[in-house]
């Protein structure tokens, strides 16, 4: 499924700007490009899931919920089957912008729940959602979303991490491993190594927990430097889990 740029621009303008004689800014247009790539992934994940009951999509660390709301209007509502979007965001201004935008959404049959909470709060999450999507989940939020998706037994996770701060747990591991390997202290050399260890740790943690994962570029790096997407499906294949657990133990030293 592909999404036309003009259609995405129109929806973003209607939902989040909604002022006559205005147009999208350059950063909003880049958001359209991101949305085209990510919504194609969401549409494929929805199509893969043969779900008899209500389809539940979680937009985690949602910001104004561009992903959840566009998926509601363009993917879930046109399916004509029961579906619900569950938005989790902790910043009150973005929660309010999301609630405003819902009034302008063209997806009347869909339930949309907006939870103003930290993704670390287990009470913020529905149980066994079909799909968790997190776009640009910054710092530690990506790890919390992985852990919570495992805890609530989500079926599929589409995760696009953002910046890697010092509070990311695998960043400390990466620094330790860099020292053990005798990596130079030059910041640009270390930064790439640390990102690679953080990415590897997240991948192996998902795999060891039974999630078959693929890592792909969902959009060009000129649109966003944070353009890697983890596509993970819960399969629970014991051989694959054991192999990943062994690799994870080796990575952790
Ligand atoms: C870079 S923005 C991305 C927003 C949105 N997903 C998007 O791509 O437009 C990250 C968002 O995650 C939210 N966030 C970060 N950590 C969070 C946490 N622990 N719990 C809930 N929201 C969080 C921030 O408030 C912010 O709105």
Q: What domains are defined for the chain?
A: 5-165+211-237 (3.40.50.150)
Backbone angles phi, psi at 200, to 5 degrees: -65, -45
Residue 95: both structure tokens together = 């929660």
d(CA 95, CA 91): 6
Q: Which residue has the tokens 């939902």?
A: 15
In sequence order, what are the residues at sequence separation of 6 or more whose Cβ sits closer than 8 angstroms to the Cβ of residue 44? 1
Which residues of the chain register pLDDT less than 70? Answer: none
d(CA 49, CA 43): 10
Give residue 144 CA to ligand 1 midpoint distance, Å. Answer: 12
Place of tokens 């985690």: 60
User: What is the CB neighbour count within 10 angstroms for residue 171?
Assistant: 19
Query: The whole model's pTM is what?
Result: 0.95
Contacts of 121 (CB under 8 A, 6+ apart): none
What pLDDT is recorded for position 51? 72
Give residues (CB < 6 A) around ligand 1: 61-63, 66, 88-91, 94, 118-120, 135-136, 138, 141, 144, 162
Contact 102, 16 (CB under 8 A): no
> What tokens were used for 194?
């640390």
Identify the CA nearest to 205 among candidates 248, 173, 170.
248
Q: Say how many Å lie between the CA of residue 242 and the centre of ligand 1.
A: 33
Q: What is the pLDDT of residues 186-232, one digit of tens each?
A: 999 999 999 999 999 999 999 999 999 999 999 999 999 999 999 99
66 CA: nearest ligand 1 atom? 9
Residues 198 and 207: their CA atoms lie apart, in Å, by: 14
Distance (angstroms) between ligand 1 centre and the Cα of 2 equals 26
User: For position 176, what pLDDT does the model report?
Assistant: 93
Q: What is the DSSP string of 117-148?
A: S-TT-GGGS-SS-SEEEEEEE-TTHHHHHHHH
Q: What is the pLDDT of residue 78?
A: 94
Cα 29 to Cα 78: distance, rounded to the nearest angstrom: 24
Q: Whose CA is nearest to atom 9 of ligand 1?
A: 63
Residue 211 near residue 233 (C-beta atoms within 8 A): yes
- How far apart, in whole angstroms, are the C-alpha atoms of residue 246 and residue 253? 11
pLDDT digits (tens, 9 = 90+) for 88-100: 999 999 999 999 9
Token digits for 161?
């991490």
What residue has token string 């995405």?
8
**SS3 string of 93-116?**
HHHHHHHHHHCCCCCCCCEEEEEE
Tell how far CA 88 is from the center of its chain. Answer: 12
- Residues facing 217 on adjacent strands: 228
């Amino acid at each position: 499924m592909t999404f036309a740029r003009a259609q995405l621009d129109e929806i973003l303008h209607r939902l989040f700007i909604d002022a006559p004689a205005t147009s999208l800014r350059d950063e909003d247009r880049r958001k359209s490009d991101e949305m085209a790539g990510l919504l194609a992934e969401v549409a494929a994940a929805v199509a893969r899931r043969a779900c008899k009951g209500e389809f539940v999509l979680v937009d985690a660390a949602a910001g104004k919920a561009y992903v959840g709301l566009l998926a509601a209007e363009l993917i879930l509502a046109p399916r004509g089957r029961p579906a619900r979007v569950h938005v989790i965001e902790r910043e009150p201004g973005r929660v309010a912008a999301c609630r405003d935008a819902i009034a302008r959404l063209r997806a009347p049959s869909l339930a949309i729940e907006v939870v103003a909470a930290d993704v670390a709060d287990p009470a913020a999450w529905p149980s066994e959602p079909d799909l968790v999507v997190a776009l640009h989940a910054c710092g530690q939020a990506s790890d919390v979303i992985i852990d919570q998706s495992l805890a609530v037994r989500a079926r599929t996770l589409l995760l696009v991490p953002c910046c890697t701060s010092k509070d990311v747990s695998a960043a400390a591991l990466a620094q330790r491993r860099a020292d053990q390997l005798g990596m130079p202290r030059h910041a640009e050399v270390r930064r790439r190594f640390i990102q690679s260890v953080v990415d590897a740790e997240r991948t192996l943690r998902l795999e060891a927990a039974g999630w078959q994962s693929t890592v792909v570029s969902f959009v060009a790096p000129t649109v966003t430097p944070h353009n890697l997407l983890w596509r993970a499906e819960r399969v629970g294949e014991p051989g694959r889990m054991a192999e990943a657990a062994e690799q994870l133990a080796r990575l952790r030293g």
